[in-house]
Amino acid sequence: MKKRGKKWRKGLVPDEIFGTFDFSKNSQDIRNRVAKVVSSFTEAKDGPAIARSFPAVNLPNAELFLEEVKRAIVDQDMRDIVVDFELAQQEIHGRKRKTSPIMKAEWTLDFNFDNISIPLLENIFNNPDYVGDEYRVKQMIAQTVVTELQGIVPKVLLQSFPKNLF
């Protein structure tokens, strides 16, 4: 998929697939509240602690983080939050890392948010920016997202996608 977005600080997320968050389209109040949630994640849950690696996080930590943002801000204040998330892949060869953006997704974190697989897979298959990409490539990315989230999100809540289109 097309290269876009900001440069990521290398070396913080050891996973092959990870994402970076951007909340800059929200008000300063929301950004401050999100920063409080980030600072509360000082213990490593799955990979490096979110407070250490943010804005870069692996997918399981992205899910845990968004669940907490939803609980702490959206559910309590009834305020929606614009989330920009850039999915990327890195190849690790010893101390060298090569990072390649995969896709960028934007959605609104609201009361109906279930898990990160839904906006990511909807973006992979429905975003007009990626209409020219091969279906097999989209399918491989989607399967990677689902596989990464299986330990965190109950299977019945994971977004599904067609395995064979033709």
Domain ranges of the chain: 17-157
149 CB-side CA count, 13 A: 29
Residue 14 pLDDT > 50, yes or no? yes
- Tokens encoding 100: 């390649």
pLDDT tens sequence across 121-156: 999 888 888 888 888 888 888 889 988 888 888 777
pLDDT of residue 119: 93
Q: Is the pLDDT of residue 49 over 80?
A: no
Measured between alpha carbons, how far is residue 138 from residues 121, 143, 162, 164 in Å?
9, 9, 11, 12
Per-residue pLDDT reduced to its tens digit, 66-116: 999 999 999 998 899 999 999 998 887 777 778 888 999 999 999 999 999
> Are the beta carbons of 149 and 116 closer than 8 angstroms?
yes
55 in Cβ contact with 31 (< 8 Å): no
> In whole angstroms, what is the distance from residue 64 CA to residue 41 CA?
10
Quick one: tokens of 84? 């920009």
The more confident residue out of 164 and 94 is 94
Alpha carbons 19 and 148: distance in angstroms, whole number: 12
Residues 6+ apart with CB under 8 A from 43: 49
Type of residue numbered 126? N
